């Protein structure tokens, strides 16, 4: 199938009614890749069911990706907890299989980083795991560089891949 065979995708800010849908997507994609709560991945975050509230705070934003009126993924940006005030974190980038491979993760990441620059952030941090090879390749193409030590207090103890980008 070519990209023209897929219904168009639309990126928009999260609404309160998206909370259960995006939480289900994060849990589903996490399970698909073996990213379980007991290992400290995003699926264990206490705010997973209330992302709208979390990302409605100053300096925070979350976008969902819609296809044919259905949410198929999302991602966000927020200040990095426990770090220097000029560092934000790219967070909770999860997409259902039908939304992958169409450039939408790149579009969302670029949107998030533009928002971060507007908010005065100068660096963007992220954590992921080595099993997510396509995500790591995307982040590298976007200019993120691997760093050896974690920054801030993300609580994601098993995210062994840490990356940082100057905004």
**Tokens describing residue 33:** 């890749």
State whether residue 91 is helix, strand or coil.
Answer: strand
What are the two backbone dihedrals, phi and then psi, of residue 163, each rounded to the nearest 5 degrees? -140, 150
Q: At 14, is the pLDDT very low, low, confident or very high (cuts 50, 70, 90)?
A: very high
Question: If you search the block for the tokens 């993300």, which residue do you land on?
Answer: 154
Mean pLDDT of the region 89-115: 95
Percent of the chain with pLDDT over 90: 72
* pLDDT value for 34: 84
Predicted pLDDT at 37? 62
Find tokens 């941090």 and name the residue. Answer: 125
Determine if residue 59 is left, alpha or beta; phi over 0 gives left, psi from -120 to 50 gives alpha, anything else beta: left
- Identify the weakest region by mean pLDDT among 104-118, 124-138, 147-161: 147-161
Secondary structure class of 120 (helix, strand, coil): coil
DSSP of 136-163, one letter per residue?
Answer: HHHHHHTT-EEESS--S----TT--EEE
What domains are there in the chain, each with its CATH number? 3-166 (3.40.630.30)
Residue-wise over 125-149: b if at least 16 C-beta within 10 A, else e?
bbbbbeebeebbebbeebebeeeee
The sign of the CA dihedral 139, 141, 144, 150 is positive
Residue 58's CB is within 10 A of a number of other CB atoms, namely 6
Helix (H) or strand (E) run with residue 30 in it: helix 19-32
Locate 90 and state its tokens.
């790219």
């Amino acid at each position: 199938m070519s990209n023209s065979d897929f219904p168009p995708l639309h990126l928009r800010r999260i609404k309160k009614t998206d909370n259960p849908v995006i939480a289900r997507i994060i849990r589903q994609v996490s399970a698909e890749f073996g990213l379980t709560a007991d290992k400290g991945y995003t699926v264990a975050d206490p705010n997973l069911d209330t992302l709208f509230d979390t990302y409605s705070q100053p300096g925070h934003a979350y976008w969902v990706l819609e296809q044919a009126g259905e949410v198929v993924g999302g991602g966000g940006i927020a200040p990095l907890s426990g770090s220097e005030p000029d560092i934000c974190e790219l967070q909770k980038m999860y997409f259902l299989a039908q939304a992958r491979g169409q450039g939408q993760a790149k579009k969302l990441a670029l949107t998030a980083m533009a928002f971060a620059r507007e908010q005065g952030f100068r660096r963007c941090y992220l954590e992921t795991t080595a099993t997510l090879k396509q995500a790591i390749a995307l982040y590298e193409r976007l200019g993120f560089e691997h760093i050896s030590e974690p920054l801030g207090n993300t609580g994601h103890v098993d995210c062994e891949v840490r990356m940082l980008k100057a905004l």
